Amino acid sequence: CPPPLQICVSKCPDRYLTYLTAQGNPTSLEYYRNFCTPEFKASRKAPLEVLKDRECPAMLIPSTPLARRCLPAIQAKKGVITVGNETTYDDGHGRRRNVTELLEGAKNANVVLEARQLAMKIFEDYTVSWYWIIIGLVIAMVASLIFIVLLRFLAGIMVWVMIVMVILVLGYGIFHCYMEYAKLKGEAGSDVSLTDLGFQTDLRVYLHLRQTWLAFLIILCVLELVIVLLLIFLRKRILIAIALIKEASRAVGHVMSSLLFPLCTFFLLCLCIAYWASTAVFLSTSNEAVYKVFNETTCPFSGQTCKPETFNTSNVTKLCPDAQCLFAFYGGETAYHKYLIVLQFFNVFMFFWLANFVIALGQVTLAGAFASYYWAFKKPDDMPAFPLFSAFGRALRYHTGSLAFGSLVLAVVQVIRVTLEYLDHRLKAAENKFAKFLLSCLKCCFWCLEKFIKFLNRNAYIMIAIYGTNFCTSARNAFFLLMRNIIRVAVLDKVTDFLFFLGKLLIVGSVGILAFFFFTQRIKLVQDTAPPLNYYWVPILTVIVGSYLIAHGFFSVYGMCVDTLFLCFLEDLERNDGSAEKPYFMSQNLRKLLKKTNKGQPDA
């Protein structure tokens, strides 16, 4: 179907009128001219040619201006729908049509208008609450910094309190299961086995069986026993993990500029996204306008491409008088247009590569700064003056190739994952179950591979920052070093995950609750200060999301610090023995915990 005629007018039409009706009335034709193109010459063309050349609309409808558009002036009077105070209109062919046929188009336009109105109200809320949102984000930033500082003193307490709470909760679960098991003794139907009962859709039926509570009791007892045994055998490793977390808090305190470094990474990532988006838009709009033949009767040239400049002088108009050469879509027939999808694919690949390179640059910079803290024999006196800038300079000068190679490996896997997701989307309507199963397996495998490569790259970048070796050597050394200390890795990983989860939950939850009470005017002290809002959830959600991003940025730096100090700690244990030639570089607290000493140097 040819697209409708669109034209800018100074005033919307206020009456029903078709071009065929206006053609026979000079006054109506003069009014109709206001809604035609400037090239319109009424005396030179027949009505069919005017409509065919799209110089005038076929019909005018009483309209009102809404959002810079002329929409039908629909009104409801006593349940009767009218447009321009009329319930019917002439369609130009002598037939009267009901105005309700115009409602469908108005409904679609109403969705756009409502969305625009919603957007305007949200924008108004931001204009009156933006400074309060900034204050909330500053509070989240201060809370994140305080939490990281307090980890130096409270990490051990929080970890052990959580472990005791888990043991107590499991103990209460065991007690509750035993009481329910004893209470059901002698009740009718409680001794039926699970196999005899079979599968039931109402799960509450199983709670009336003694065997169900016995199974729960056994499971919880096994879990309790496993946790207690793990605590007995892994107690020292948990203490080491807590000591490393405390040491990381000290390291961040000596390299405070590292907490602002994620802003640099974020800025570079924004540049990567801007490059990818602009290139994708330029590629998408680099097509040529394709025109095709449209006609109402049978025509052998229907659907073929045409050129508007030479269409009127071609044989098509002679064989098909009602044919029109109209715009169809953007495309092309050249080799460039045929391989445009390949260029878009390459653009996506380059985006992944650049984004991973920026993230790798941030990781190796932070690792270099925190490694300089660990390998300083007298902390912090032996540290460089500007450890973060020194690490950034070393990364750009010596390790660009290693970072690019590690980013390339990860980008290849990510592009394969994107391709699999695209194929999965295209094959959703297919009925081949084997193809779906194979695709699901491939997606799962490459998801696991991406997670493993991210883990390996992160530790390889730490080794690059420490020793300056190439990517492959660093990845191999880091992998085997971690495998030799796999239990310590698992314990440290779970302890830090718990602390980061607790920190994010505490910061986001507290700031979110504070924002909720403030913007809903439930704090009496500042009740008159809160701005009037259309939707109070707009600033609240903004503060919550912003607080999470700020907390995530702070904890990502802290997590990199913990991982760097951990690898340095493992290297220190393997390469040094505490002698005068090979002294330990770890802190005194870690040496006391491991019962290690540097000969000739007293431990305070």
Residue type at 528 in one-letter notation: D
Give CA–CA dist 389/386, Å, rounded: 6
User: What DSSP string runs through 356-374?
Assistant: HHHHHHHHHHHHHHHHHHH
Is 415:354 a contact under the CB 8 Å cutoff? no
State the number of CA atoms in the 13 A half-sphere of 267 facing the CB. 5
Is 330:285 a contact under the CB 8 Å cutoff? yes
Is 272 in the same domain as 312? no
Is 71 in the same domain as 26? yes
Is 298 in the same domain as 432? no
**Nearest-CA neighbor of 453 among 490, 425, 414?**
414
Is 365:389 a contact under the CB 8 Å cutoff? no
Residue 462 falls inside a structural domain = yes
Q: What is the number of structural domains in the chain?
A: 3
**Backbone dihedral angles phi then psi of residue 18, each to the nearest 5 degrees:** -105, 160
**Backbone dihedral angles phi then psi of residue 142, each to the nearest 5 degrees:** -65, -40
Residue 21 falls inside a structural domain = yes
**Nearest-CA neighbor of 598 among 588, 589, 570?**
588
Give CA–CA dist 461/467, Å, rounded: 10
Counting as low any pLDDT under 50, the low residues of the chain are 603-604
Is 478 in the same domain as 353? yes
**Backbone dihedral angles phi then psi of residue 586, each to the nearest 5 degrees:** -70, 160
Q: Is 484 helix (H, G, I), strand (E, B) or coil?
A: coil
pTM of the entire predicted model: 0.71
- Position 604 scores a pLDDT of 40
User: What DSSP string runs through 39-101?
Assistant: T--TTTS-HHHHHHTTSS-SEE--EEEETTEEEE-EEEETTEEEETTBSEEE-SSS-EEEGGG
- The four Cα atoms 190, 196, 201, 202 give a dihedral, to 10 degrees, of -10
Residue 431 falls inside a structural domain = yes
Measured at the CA of 564, the angle between CA 257 and CA 484, to 5 degrees, comes to 175
Is 436 in the same domain as 296? no
Which of 484, 514, 539 terminates a domain? The answer is: 484
- Position 283 scores a pLDDT of 86
Q: Is 292 helix (H, G, I), strand (E, B) or coil?
A: strand
> How would you class 297 by CB atoms within 10 Å of its CB: exposed for 0-12, middle for 13-18, buried for 19 or more?
exposed
H/E segment holding residue 306: strand 305-306
The residues near 141 (Cβ < 8 Å, ≥ 6 apart) are 550, 554
- Position 379 scores a pLDDT of 78
Q: Is 294 helix (H, G, I), strand (E, B) or coil?
A: strand
- Position 389 scores a pLDDT of 92
Is 357 in the same domain as 478? yes
Residue 62 falls inside a structural domain = yes
Which of 466, 484, 502 terminates a domain? The answer is: 484
Is 316 in the same domain as 392? no
Is 370 in the same domain as 400? yes
Residue 113 falls inside a structural domain = no
Q: Which residue range forms the structural domain that includes residue 383? A: 261-286+346-484
**Nearest-CA neighbor of 329 among 282, 285, 279?**
285
CA of residue 355 relative to chain centroid, distance: 14
Whole-angstrom distance between the N-terminal and C-terminal Cα of the chain? 87
- Position 103 scores a pLDDT of 65
Neighbours of 224 (CB within 10 A): 17
Is 118:525 a contact under the CB 8 Å cutoff? no
Residue 156 falls inside a structural domain = no
User: Each residue of 189-230: pLDDT tens digit?
Assistant: 677 776 766 666 566 667 777 888 888 899 999 998 998 888
Is 273 in the same domain as 414? yes
Residue 209 falls inside a structural domain = no
Is 406 in the same domain as 270? yes
Is 301 in the same domain as 439? no
Q: 3-state SS of the chain: helix, strand, coil percent to 5?
A: 70, 5, 25
Is 535:504 a contact under the CB 8 Å cutoff? no
Count of all residues that appear for the chain in the document? 604
Which letter does DSSP use for residue 305 in this model? E
Neighbours of 274 (CB within 10 A): 10
Question: Which residue reads 């003056």 in tokens?
Answer: 385
Residue 195 falls inside a structural domain = no
Which of 273, 297, 330 terminates a domain? The answer is: 330
Is 377 in the same domain as 442? yes
H/E segment holding residue 324: strand 324-331
Neighbours of 373 (CB within 10 A): 25
Do the bridges between strand 17-18 and strand 59-60 make them parallel or antiparallel, or are there none, so unpaired?
antiparallel
Q: How far is CA 183 from CA 174, 188, 207, 243, in A?
A: 14, 12, 12, 47
Give CA–CA dist 452/576, Å, rounded: 30
Give CA–CA dist 391/13, Å, rounded: 69
